[in-house]
Structure 1
Amino acid sequence: MYLGIDIGTSAVKLVCADIDRILATSSVGIKTSSPQPGWSEQHPDLWWKATTDALNQLAGQITMSDVKAIGLSGQMHGAVLLDRDLHPIRPAILWNDSRAVPECDELRATHPQIGRIAGVLPLPGFTAPKITWMKKHEPANYSRLAHILLPKDYIGLCLHGELATDTSDAAGTLWLDQAARNWHADIAEATGVAPNWLPPVFDGHSVVGTVTAQAAAETGLKPGVPVVAGGGDAATGAVSLGATEPGRGFISLGTSGQLFVADRRYKPNPECYVHAFAHTLPDRWYQMAAMLNGARPISWIGDQLGLSAAEVVALAETVSGDRVPIFLPYLTGERSPLGDPHVRASFFGLEDSTTRADICRSVVEAIAFCFAGAAQSFGDTIDSLPELAAIGGGSRSDLLLCLIAAVTGKPIVRSDGADAGPALGAARLAACGDSALTIADLADQPPTTDRFEPVDLAGLSERLERFRRLYRAVSTAY
């Protein structure tokens, strides 16, 4: 039995699985703080507390001593900043934080080839510009900085006591030379980072440590259990679906959203804000469009209206038509394909007759429209893909998957355990590290349970064009 731990933005999710099926799951929610406009932070200790709580939940379903190996997954790009004693200096600065816009502009100016080296142009959500920001604005904290980790790697440190990361999470920092799959010293230096602040980089299935006696006492896990490096949530989500070889692609509908295409070659396309990153497995890369506002707008509007996410979608299913308002879902700016950290969300076309159901429908449609833009940014790269699999909490919505199929022109398929996604992928990497699976086995795809064909939904293409025109108009107003 293998354990996958996924450090998400809204929850820590755990999956226990054998080599071909999920045995048990648990989840504990976590909160994000925004102490200033555009800031997004979580303290690393919240992740560890949520992890131990989720493990306690899991202990009621399985025998913890049966866990043979552990894999890690997590939200990418977060800056976990540690002192010499390996204690967090401040809350982690997350992937959807937009404070470091000027630092990105400086990095583009001084390193015009960075998009070709790091696989994407600098944007404030990435890890590197956050360090330059801290050097300027929090010099006392910067003076204490001795180590930088990604979110999942902090949980690894708590479990096994080592400093380590994997290629896919390192890929999302801007410090990784994607082709060489190792740190780029010049980019690190340009952002105020000493090379020894960065952890060693491993393949995702590599064992990087074992559960310590202290971690065992806190978690109920058995001491000495191997822990593999794991991967960023995009890459582990890919592993859960077998998207490790060319011709495989998927969409992820978590707090953020991704459109992911696997490859055996490094193919940078920074001008369209398509990310070209190292995969968590050796000799593999991927291209990805990353949207900061995946399924998050559904839970956001639910919070405002006193509805659950399921109730938002259920209301959205009851209406359609031209009188539904247009919603720009950019609650935290946007990355792919706009590269616009300044844009914010807005409704257009509200009327006296607008209902809660109309508002819910406009929010769900807007998420699909973002995926239409992402697919367009790939050019002909995804033309040959026969279908796109769907994972993440948003994949539970038939309506949303139907809409995405319609606007992208690609069939969308769903499998059992789709909402487990990255945590399941982390468990599979753990099984590979324990030699229960091979790297070739990780390309196995789960059987499809539901398929959504692209169909011409009345008025949807016209509403998509209005959505695009609205963004162009709004983008001139700030």
Structure 2
Amino acid sequence: MYLGLDLGTSSLKALLIDDNQRILGSASAPLTVERPHHGWSEQDPDSWIHATRAALSELGKAYAAELARVRGIGLSGHMHGATTIDRDGKVIRPCILWNDTRSYHEAAELDADPIFRRLTGNIVFPGFTAPKLKWMAANEPEAFASVARVLLPKDYLRLWLSGEAISEMSDSAGTSWLDTGKRAWDDSLLAATGLDRSHMPALVEGTERAGALRADVAADLGLPAGIPIAGGAGDNAASACGMGTVGDNHAFASLGTSGVLFAANNRYLPNPGSAVHAFCHALPGTWHQMGVILSATDSLNWLAGVTSMKPSALTSELGDTLLAPGSVMFLPYLSGERTPHNDAAIRGSFTGLEHASDRTSLTRSVLEGVCFAFRDSLAALAQAGTSLARVTAIGGGSKSDYWLEALSTVLDLPVDIPEGGDFGAAFGAARLGLIAAENADPLSVCTQPATERTIHPNRDLSAAFDEAYQTYRALYPAIKGAMS
């Protein structure tokens, strides 16, 4: 038996698989995000521990005997979060999350130093970890002075599980402290934020052993003491392991809280000017590129809250037949945007509203706006040297065939839907736990699921969506100018 723990922004998920990679069961526990000021997004790291205990307690109600036979654990988690620890191992302040934009000035200052893009292969985005520590130094100097270690969220869970401060390449590539080509911390990047290697965890590959489960925690969770914990992966790389997106130019489109267009690469292909992320993959000797949309299903969730409807009810109102874009256009920049704009200050908007605009008009425009943002990422990937022939859809938004047909039409690519099953980050983490525990071949474990069906572009509507996309592209500079 092997266990995957995926620390998401809104929940912690525990998933149990057997040695044939058959999913036996899963459980989750909710998490909340605090937004004490405009642009801020924080979580209490202790809530991650409570959620882990709750999820495993729930899983243990049906699978106690199986949990007692677990041989390896894999970890996945939301990336970039600054979890600061003092010399006594205590959390200094709430974790500053990936979608927190307070450090956009600090990010711009770091990004102005050419060494960052040259060594990391990426723009220094406000959501990355390094500018958050620079912000702490300027705004919370006493807290910054007490920092002994900076950990990414899933690696704080590892610290609790094993007592060891260890990270891995895929997650660490999103800090702006990693030389992504060399897969190692860089002293000059750390020094730019007042840190050195003593503040960093040790580094391993995602498939390697990275600590063992402490006896007291094992007894608490109903797991065997001493079992290995894999290096694991950041959430998107873990999802790629779950989907088998590990071969060159294999790709998926994740319609989750954020949106990700993810392409695996067998070589390092940085192109920071495109605002595409070039990160290490969880498997040794591999990398990946991502176009990142900060508010994908989060945009639909926002509309659902405003209209007091469930997201699924909103998409159901659209019916089964894809319609041409209407007069209403939506920019999904509720928390700013990464690819291709690298703009933490921009905010979303509706344009083209008229008396006839109803709830379904707004829903359609939200879905279409997210699809157009994916097309921006597709263009950025092409600029960075990656051309895609098809994508596999994952994430909560992939349950809407309407949304997927719109996405396929906008991207002009076939969209594959995998056979029923859970192939997300928790499954990928469990696979990494299996690999680390058994020293298994990563490529033989991280295989692709069978395709249940494929959604193809609606050629009758291609021209209409192309025309609407050009309107969408013109809106960003207009809105940015109005907000300046």
Please give the TM-score of this superposition, normalised by the length of structure 2: 0.95
Change (3 A) 1:190 1:178: same
**Which one-letter code corresponds to 1:423 in the other structure?**
A
Alpha carbons 1:179, 1:266 under 8 Å: kept: yes
Q: Which residue of 2 aligns with 1:325?
A: 328
Q: Give the Cα–Cα distance (whole angstroms) in 1 for the partners of residues 466 and 423 of structure 2.
A: 32
Which amino acid in structure 2 is aligned with residue 8 of structure 1? G
Inter-partner Cα distance in structure 2 for 1:216 and 1:5 = 14
Could you say which residue in structure 2 is the equivalent of 1:439?
Answer: 442
Residue 465 of structure 2 corresponds to residue 460 of structure 1: yes
Matches of 1:22 and 1:311, distance apart in 2: 29
Given the alignment, which residue of 369, 394, 413 partners 2:397?
A: 394
Query: Distance in 2 between the 1:290 and 1:408 partners?
Result: 15
1:344-363 matched pairs, under 5 angstroms: 344-363=347-366
Deviates further, 162-171 or 244-253: 244-253
- 354-363 or 32-41, larger mean C-alpha shift: 354-363
> What amino acid is aligned across from residue 33 of structure 2 in structure 1?
T
CA contact (8 A) 2:148 2:199 kept: yes
Aligned-pair CA distance for 1:206: 1.2
Aligned to 1:7: 7
Residues 59/324 of structure 1: CA separation in 2 closer, same or farther (3 Å cut):
farther
| Residue 477 of structure 1: aligned partner | 482
Query: Counterpart amino acid of 1:28?
Result: A
- Partners of 1:219 and 1:180 lie apart in 2 by 37
Structure 1 Cα separation of the partners of residues 185 and 421 of structure 2:
33
The more displaced of 238-247 and 139-148 is 238-247
Q: Deviations over 1:178-229 (max 9, x none)?
A: 1110001101000111210100111111111222122123322222222111
Pair 1:24-2:25 in alignment: yes
Q: Which residue of 2 aligns with 1:33?
A: 34
- Per the TM alignment, residue 436 of structure 1 is displaced from its structure 2 partner at its CA by 6.8
1:390 CA displacement: 1.7
Q: What is the deviation of 1:309? A: 2.1
Contact 1:391 1:419 in 2 (8 A): no
Find the aligned partners of 1:417 and 1:191 in 2 and give their Cα distance: 46
How much has 1:117 moved relative to structure 2?
Answer: 1.0
SS state of the match for residue 377, structure 1? helix
C-alpha distance in 2 between matches for 1:397 and 1:88: 40
Aligned to 2:162: 160
2:92 match: 89
Return the alpha-carbon distance in structure 1 between the equivalents of residues 457 and 63 of structure 2: 41
For 1:402 and 1:32, locate their aligned partners in 2 and report how far apart those are by CA, in whole Å: 32
- Tell me, in whole angstroms, the C-alpha distance in 2 between the residues paired with 1:444 and 1:361: 35
Shift of 1:462: 2.2
Do the aligned residues in 1 keep the contact of 2:5 with 2:74 (CA within 8 Å)? yes
Aligned partners of 2:55, 2:410: CA distance in 1, in Å?
37
Alpha carbons 1:120, 1:268 under 8 Å: kept: yes
TM superposition shift of 1:112? 1.1
Question: Paired residue for 1:412, among 394, 412, 415?
Answer: 415
- Equivalent residues in 2 for 1:90-169, closer than 5 Å: 90-109=93-112, 111-169=113-171
Q: Which moved more, 1:312-321 or 1:284-293?
A: 312-321
Whether 1:218 aligns to 2:220 is yes
1:251 aligns with 2:229: no
265, 268, 282: which one aligns with 1:266: 268
Q: Does 2:346 correspond to 1:335?
A: no
Cα distance, 1:321 vs. partner? 4.6
What secondary structure, in the 3-state scheme, does the structure 1 residue paired with 2:9 have?
coil
Q: Are 1:57 and 2:58 an aligned pair?
A: yes
Which range is displaced more, 330-339 or 412-421?
A: 412-421
SS at match of 2:21: coil
Native 8 Å contact 1:244 1:442 kept in 2? no
Q: Which residue of 1 is the match for residue 294 of structure 2?
A: 292
Note if contact 2:326-2:365 (Cα within 8 Å) is conserved in structure 1: no
SS at match of 1:193: coil
Task: Identify if the C-alpha distance between structure 1 residues 252 and 418 changes in structure 2 by more than 3 Å, giving closer, same or farther.
Answer: farther
- 1:349-384 CA distances to partner (integer Å, 9 max, x unpaired)? 222222212211111111111101100111266775
Aligned counterparts of 2:16 and 2:408: Cα–Cα separation in 1 = 31
AA at the equivalent of 1:221? L
Q: For 2:166 and 2:180, how far apart are their aligned partners in 1?
A: 17
Report the Cα offset of residue 312 of structure 1.
Answer: 2.1
The alignment-based identity, stated in percent, is: 40
Cα displacement (A) at 1:461 = 2.1
- The answer to whether residue 238 in structure 2 is matched with residue 236 in structure 1 is yes
Instruction: Classify the secondary structure of the residue corresponding to 2:63.
Output: coil
The letter of the residue matching 1:17 is: I
Q: Deviations over 1:397-436 (max 9, x none)?
A: 2122211111111111121356541111000001111227
Superposed displacement of residue 386, structure 1: 3.3
Alignment of 1:176-191 (within 5 A): 176-191=178-193
SS at match of 1:390: strand
**Distance in 2 separating the partners of 1:377 and 1:54:** 38
Moved more, 245-254 or 368-377: 245-254
Cα distance change, pair 298–437 in 1 and its aligned pair in 2 (3 A) = farther
**Native 8 Å contact 1:10 1:255 kept in 2:** no
Deviations 1:27-76 (A, max 9, x none): 22211111111111111111111111111121123232122211000101
Given that 1:168 and 1:279 are in contact with CA atoms closer than 8 Å, whether structure 2 keeps it comes out as yes
The one-letter code of the counterpart of 2:328 is P
CA distance in 2, matches of 1:265, 1:323: 42
Instruction: Give the Cα–Cα distance (whole angstroms) in 2 for the partners of residues 176 and 316 of structure 1.
Output: 45
**1:472, distance to aligned residue in structure 2 (A):** 2.0
* Correspondences of 1:191-210 after superposition (within 5 Å): 191-210=193-212
Is residue 392–residue 420 contact of structure 1 (8 Å, CA) maintained in 2? no
Deviation at 1:168, TM superposition (A): 0.3
Which shows bigger deviation, 381-390 or 397-406?
381-390
Cα separation, partners in 2 of 1:190 and 1:322, compared to 1, 3 Å? closer
CA contact (8 A) 2:80 2:175 kept: yes
The one-letter amino acid paired with 2:376 is G
1-structure distance, mates of 2:130, 2:89: 19
| Moved >6 Å (runs of 4+) | 380-383
Secondary structure of the corresponding residue to residue 481 of structure 2: coil
Give the aligned partner of residue 422 of structure 1.
425
Query: Per the alignment, do residues 129 and 320 of structure 1 end up closer, same or farther by CA in structure 2, a change over 3 Å counting?
Result: same
